[in-house]
Structure 1
């Protein structure tokens, strides 16, 4: 693998983690969302990654292959005075688990930062290699 492949691999990881962070942000923004007019509350979403080959070299990167919705049951809170309450007085809320989402956010953020550091280190090594040739 050439030094330039490192930029492709880390770049693909940074792009994928950025998408993951956007999905986590969307989930966290809808933690307390109640059922909409269609009767369905917001479903938590998760990013699905897959390995992908990067160019002619045998370097493997990552890409987002899709975004899935959670099958966890919705939260039901008894609040008969809420305008969205059903006949029994329950309000259906999203199935987003804020603790899981915070863990996801920290994991994605660290992965993003690590890949930025990999790119900075590779850049530094390439510059030092060029300086040695002078």
Structure 2
């Protein structure tokens, strides 16, 4: 395969990985205040995503893929609120282990990586188009 097609494949794998990362971050932000349904129940657990490098056999290009989407093992925050429906017998409510500031920073980083991969796709497409135009001119 030619280098431009390889660049398209690599950037495409990056777009897929970063869009998955953005989905996980948005789920975490959306559930940052989701407590359990019953007294003492666990709240929403923050999700994490891990990437892995894979090699495309046809092009020998290093692509990025999703290795795993898992839950964060960090402890839940406990808040004293005996009037809350999810409060345990001692009056404590378990809150999600989601830190919105961390999630926003992760979202910003994923967004920038997505934009960088998109720019590679646009540039490769433009170079392919220029090559086709040169071949027509002959």
Q: Do these two structures clear the TM 0.5 threshold for a shared fold by scoring above it? A: yes
TM bracket, shorter-chain basis: over 0.9
After superposition, the C-alpha distances for 1:2-43 in whole angstroms (9 at most, x for unaligned) are 210111111111011111111111100110111234822111
* Residues paired across the two proteins, number: 134
8 Å contact from structure 2 (residues 78, 93) kept in 1: yes
Q: Is the 8 A contact 2:25 2:106 kept in 1?
A: yes
What residue in structure 2 maps to residue 13 of structure 1? 14
Q: Distance in 1 between matches of 2:100 and 2:9?
A: 33
Instruction: Return the offset for 1:102.
Output: 0.5
The aligned runs of 1:49-88 (5 Å cut-off) are 49-88=51-90
Aligned residues of 2:41 and 2:86 also touching (Cα < 8 A): no
Maintained 8 Å contact 1:13/1:112: yes
RMSD: 1.4
- Report how far residue 132 of structure 1 moved: 2.4
Unmatched runs of 5 consecutive residues or more in structure 2: none
TM-score (norm 2): 0.91
Q: Distance in 2 between matches of 1:120 and 1:7?
A: 9
Aligned partner of 1:31 in structure 2 is 32
Structure 1 length normalisation: TM-score? 0.93
Query: Aligned partners of 2:57 and 2:110: how far apart in 1?
Result: 25
Deviation of 1:130 after TM superposition, in Å, equals 2.2
Distance of 2:78 and 2:34 partners within structure 1: 12
Note the residue ranges of structure 1 that are not aligned, 5 or more in a row. Answer: none
Alpha-carbon contact 2:29-2:103 (below 8 Å) kept:
yes
